[in-house]
Amino acid sequence: MIDPARLSLNLITVDHWSLAEAVARCAAAGIATVAPWRHQLDGDSARIIREAGLAVSSICRGGFFTAPGADADNRRAVEQAAELGAPVLVLVCGPPRDRNLAAARATIAAGIERLLPFAADHGVRLGIEPLHPMMVGERSAIVTLGEALALARRLDSPHVGVVVDAYHVFWDPNLESELAAADGLIAAHHVCDWLVPTTDLLAGRGLMGDGIIDLPRLRRLIENAGYNGPVEVEVINPALAELPAGELLADIKARFLRG
């Protein structure tokens, strides 16, 4: 049975609400932790979250190291994380710029290495998130947990780790062995479910329990690797916007506790 206090709502799940609405509704629903995305933030966000008594588990996202201007944008992302008291900045590392995946991966590694001292100065941990391989062309050349872990090990700093999102990694036959060797390297854990059929590469994700991911097993593997922090519910699916706010949050809480 999971500790209900570990639930954090990743606010992309309710991107159809304003940040103020999301914060008020989470507070009312007894969800004490949130994870906003940067496009949801403005100068007032830190105050709104603090006054509602909520904690922040992470912010999404830095990364896109293969794009021009990445360094400046990533330093700004670190500052935003620090302003919000978010311990983790989630990195979506960026796609290759051409047909050379190895070059993209080297660019990403170098970009994280350059950002790391700035993150350390701000007390923010960089969370390298491997994305599902179907996102390689548009979002991330880092598509396996093994590669994210190898990268984190190479950087060898308490200010870098990996984000284990069930949706992105559950298919991997090496999951168990990779996580068995990941002690201390897990910075965050995201959950949702893989629907069958899946009809959209980005926004076809399901609520926990509606798909084929064995979430309790994955959480056990992650806990065995020493991670007992927040578990973010991050579900990208436009169908969620059809549900009444209170009903959606109650459903998320119930599913979280069952999983």
Binding site for a second copy (CB under 8 A): 95-96, 98-101, 105, 132-134, 136-138, 143-144, 146-147, 170-174, 194-199, 201, 211-214
| Structure token pair of residue 131 | 């994305």
Output the smallest distance, CB 14 to a second copy, in A. 25
Report, in Å, the least distance between residue 37 CB and a second copy: 20
3-state helix, strand, coil in the chain (%, to 5): 45, 15, 35
Gap between the Cα atoms of 11 and 227, Å rounded: 22
Name the minimum Å distance from CB 193 to a second copy: 10
The residue among 63 and 146 lying less far from a second copy, judged by its C-beta, is 146
* C-alpha–C-alpha distance, residues 17 and 100, integer Å: 39
Nearer to a second copy, 5 or 134 (CB): 134
Please give the Cα distance from 189 to 230 (Å, whole number): 7
**CB-nearer residue toward a second copy: 21 or 171:** 171
Least CB distance to a second copy at residue 198 (A): 6
Q: What is the residue-wise DSSP string for 172-198?
A: -TTHHHHHHT-TT-EEEEEE-EE-SS-
Q: What is the CA radius of gyration of the chain?
A: 17
Q: What is the dihedral of CA 144, 146, 151, 152, to 10 degrees?
A: 110
Shortest distance in whole angstroms from residue 212 CB to a second copy = 5
Residue number with CB closer to a second copy (17 or 65): 65
Complex with a second copy: residue 149 or 248, whichever CB lies closer: 149
